[in-house]
Structure 1
Amino acid sequence: MIMPPEISVIVPVHNAGPYLRDCVDSILAQTFTNLEIILVNDGSSDNSASICEEYREKDNRVTVIHQNYEGVSSARNTGVAAARGNYIGFVDGDDYIVPHMYEELHSLCENTDSDIAVCRLAREIDEKIINTAFNEFTKEMDHIEALRELFKGKLYRFSLCNKLFKKSCFHNIQFPEGRLHEDLSTTYRLFTNSSKTVFKEFIGYIYVKRSNSILTSTFSEKRLDAFTGWEEIVDYMTAEYPQLSDEVLAAFTYGCIDNMYYIMNQVEDRNKQQYFLSAIQQPVRKYYKEIITSSILNQKYKYLIRAINYDFRLLLYFNQIKRQLARA
């Protein structure tokens, strides 16, 4: 009788040919060997499908699923449905992981009876790691504290890929298909399905910044999908976890301000600037009273939120003057 794997690692694959071998090799090289790799080929038009098949023939721990292009959320949903492990992890097809990541995360879950284990992720730009871990420590958190840390964003953020989840966390949860920022829209719900989380200060996941990534290129309208996610988050969290309202609204505010700066600095067309900022203005107005009375946010952020709420054209005007002075 063949024993099922302990960990299922889901890799959504879409036109990842130049990077896919490095990704899969890093998973196969894990010191924790009782795992399966589920490669979900999401309608690739390059050689990704043949690379996936190459690895299926090479190692019996590799499963390949081919589907028409539906997007990364659909690929992840397909992978979760096929997963046989007690734990689930995610690796993007153009990133890679360090050899001991899953051994560490699995050990943390088992030794502390946690549903989620988290490590740091590092960013690689031009083949150089640009950030490193701090002094190593481990922190165990109950349900509420783990959610609070998620929204504070100091130990960890919404990325799925530096985390290992018990499969039970996915009960009644699906990734939102056709939407960018699917991590943002899903990770908090996985935490609400957990009882305990453990964080360890070590770098396990390497996020490779690509020049053609939608998240690293000129501002795209698809990035506004984040605000659909944020409205779901704020409405759900303030209703179910009112004790975390300040942290949730502060995280939402920081996201608004970040995107405001991206729009003003990356979008040249004035009409597009106004269109994008008006999309941010709508949810800001929905939560404006709660944001302004927050005990966490400082006056600088409250000033910027007031500007978005009342007349973001003033921000555009002052930003235009700033640009002109910089060019003078």
Structure 2
Amino acid sequence: MTNTIAISIITPCYNHGKYLLEAVHSIREYNWSVPIEHIIVNDGSIDEETIHVLEVIKQQGGIVIEQKNAGPSTARNTGIKASTGKYILPVDSDNTIIPTVFEMAYHIMESDSTISVVYTDAQYIGEKSGTWKVGELNKLRLLNRNQVDNCALIRRDDLIQLGGYDEGMPFKGNEDWELWLKMLFNDKKFYYLEEVGYNYRVLHNSLSNTESGPNHVVNKRYLVNKYQPYYATYAIQALEKVLQYEKKQKHIQENKLKSILKILLNKPVL
């Protein structure tokens, strides 16, 4: 094993001390075959339990960066700037990962330099159960709503080149959606690894339930305005697909009608 960091795991934390040690243990307690670093960014937590847990992690030699509360986008960018790994793996403080799957993702990216993102399925925990089957990236679906969670292996150079996470989203919780759109519009390649790579905790008071979910239309309007030319291009492509489908359906219906008339009249119909 070389000393060069292969994967930098970035965890922003705001008042999630209740779950943070689970996230840390899922990373630390595995014997990684590649060098990693785990950077936790304390995003101005005020919860006593969280502050205590962060202190324990520091005493154990963990990397904790302190900043004033600025939201997950800024916290992730702070962690990325401090990182040295070839790949970035964002892991939320209330989730846990399955390292073997992300080692697989690492080797996939190492074997193909054109891949910018490897994403996986997830297992729901907390207030929901079952498996989140993400599926192959659907570009038109991604324009309307986020499809891929932020817990994915990302090529650091591509992330830096595109400016990291957008810190200006109106409501928190959709910063990963903006990043994937930015990747898509810059022709970056996504790879779907059909394995459960992490445990996704569902909470009633999560950002997705309290901010980005209820304000989806506002965040989407922000993204459409930011990427107007791209949305316009994809809208035209979507319209062309609809027209092609309708033309195909019309052709099928006309052929069916001709076949019926041929049977009834006992002769071909032009």
- What TM-score bracket applies, with the shorter chain setting the length? 0.7 to 0.9
Q: 1:91 is matched with which residue?
A: 91
Question: Percent same amino acid at aligned positions?
Answer: 25
1:31 to 1:189, Cα distance in 2 relative to 1, 3 A: farther
1:236 to 1:81, Cα distance in 2 relative to 1, 3 A: farther
CA distance in structure 2 between the partners assigned to 1:151 and 1:28 by the alignment: 38
1:193 to 1:166, Cα distance in 2 relative to 1, 3 A: farther
CA distance in structure 2 between the partners assigned to 1:151 and 1:215 by the alignment: 21
The root-mean-square deviation of aligned C-alpha atoms, in Å, is: 3.2
**DSSP-derived class of the 2:10 partner:** strand
Q: 1:10 is matched with which residue?
A: 10
Gaps of 5+ in 1: 140-147, 251-292, 300-328
Q: 1:185 is matched with which residue?
A: 178
Which 4+ residue blocks in structure 1 deviate beyond 6 angstroms? none
**DSSP-derived class of the 1:100 partner:** helix
Q: 1:83 corresponds to which letter in structure 2?
A: S
Q: 1:264 is matched with which residue?
A: none
**Shift, 1:222, TM fit:** 7.7
Q: 1:229 is matched with which residue?
A: 223
**Shift, 1:27, TM fit:** 1.7
Gaps of 5+ in 2: 247-270
1:115 to 1:225, Cα distance in 2 relative to 1, 3 A: closer
CA distance in structure 2 between the partners assigned to 1:76 and 1:238 by the alignment: 26
**DSSP-derived class of the 1:64 partner:** strand
**Shift, 1:102, TM fit:** 1.8
Q: 2:163 aligns with which of 162, 166, 173?
A: 173
Q: 2:153 is matched with which residue?
A: 164
Aligned residue pairs total 233
Q: 2:56 aligns with which of 54, 57, 62?
A: 54
Q: 2:116 is matched with which residue?
A: 115
1:132 to 1:72, Cα distance in 2 relative to 1, 3 A: closer
Q: 2:20 is matched with which residue?
A: 20
Q: 1:122 corresponds to which letter in structure 2?
A: Q
1:226 to 1:205, Cα distance in 2 relative to 1, 3 A: farther
1:182 to 1:133, Cα distance in 2 relative to 1, 3 A: closer
Q: 1:166 corresponds to which letter in structure 2?
A: R
**Shift, 1:28, TM fit:** 1.6
1:274-327 per-position Cα deviation (integer Å, ceiling 9, x unaligned) = xxxxxxxxxxxxxxxxxxx5644999xxxxxxxxxxxxxxxxxxxxxxxxxxxx
Matched, 1:208 2:201: yes
- TM-score, normalized by length of structure 2? 0.73
**DSSP-derived class of the 1:231 partner:** helix
| Superposition map of 1:314-325 within 5 A | none
**Pair member with larger Rg:** 2
Q: 1:185 corresponds to which letter in structure 2?
A: E
CA distance in structure 2 between the partners assigned to 1:76 and 1:195 by the alignment: 20
Higher RCO structure, 1 or 2 (CA under 8 Å, sep 6+): 2
1:238 to 1:177, Cα distance in 2 relative to 1, 3 A: closer
1:70 to 1:9, Cα distance in 2 relative to 1, 3 A: same
1:196 to 1:31, Cα distance in 2 relative to 1, 3 A: farther
1:74 to 1:108, Cα distance in 2 relative to 1, 3 A: same
Contact 1:122 1:130 in 2 (8 A): yes
Q: 2:42 corresponds to which letter in structure 1?
A: N
**DSSP-derived class of the 1:185 partner:** helix
Q: 1:77 is matched with which residue?
A: 77
Contact 2:162 2:182 in 1 (8 A): no
